[in-house]
Amino acid sequence: MVGMTAKTIAESRISYSRWMGVSDANHLGFVHGGIIMKLIDEAGGIVAARHSQRSVVTANLDSLIFLRPIHLRDLVTLTAEITYVGRTSMETKVEVHAEEIISGESELKNIAYLVFVALDGETGKPTPVPPLRLENDSERIRAEEAKLRMDHRLAQRKLASLI
């Protein structure tokens, strides 16, 4: 990371919407969980790629809780941002809201934390990413929480490698 200019969370934050169509839902009109998982992975990946300006791979997706169903014709909005940066890895937080267009009612449906690793374009190996420039206390607290999650994941990874 030496020599790399630090970047703020705001610089890579994204928010975008997708309308849920027939191919996204089952015959009862409930959107498939896999569709939402793909959108979450994509949103987190875009943020990590924007922060690092590198290709990234998903290294970890924490447990994903489907708080409430998302329905056919809902407008799904994904908001994603970096929460923590290691040497080559980045944690992103993705929130999923769904809005029922006619009533205008919007609800939080999912929150997910994903870790991405930046890869060097030539070697395909993990490569350093810019440090994070935290701008306020709220960001600093969230980064500390993220560090605890990272420590927990790495302990889990170590256990998995022993199996």
Ligand X SMILES: CC(C)(COP(=O)(O)OP(=O)(O)OC[C@H]1O[C@@H](n2cnc3c(N)ncnc32)[C@H](O)[C@@H]1OP(=O)(O)O)[C@@H](O)C(=O)NCCC(=O)NCCS
CA distance 145 to 63: 16
In angstroms, give the least distance from the CB of 6 to ligand X: 15
Pick 8 or 60: Cβ nearer ligand X: 60
Angle at 135 between CA 130 and CA 138, to 5 degrees: 115
Decide: is 18 part of the binding site for ligand X (CB under 6 A). Answer: no
Q: Which stretch binds ligand X (CB under 6 A): 13-21, 46-54, 135-143, 150-158?
A: 150-158
Q: How many residues bind ligand X (CB under 6 A)?
A: 14
Residue of 14, 49, 59, 75 that binds ligand X (CB under 6 A): 59
Q: Structure tokens of 108? A: 């939080």
Q: Nearest to ligand X by Cβ — which residue?
A: 86
Q: Structure tokens of 159? A: 């256990």
Dihedral of the alpha carbons of 120, 123, 125, 127, in degrees to the nearest 10? -30
Tell me, rounded to whole angstroms, the distance of Cα 8 from its chain centroid: 16
Q: Which residues bind ligand X (CB under 6 A)?
A: 57-60, 86-89, 115, 117, 126, 153-154, 157
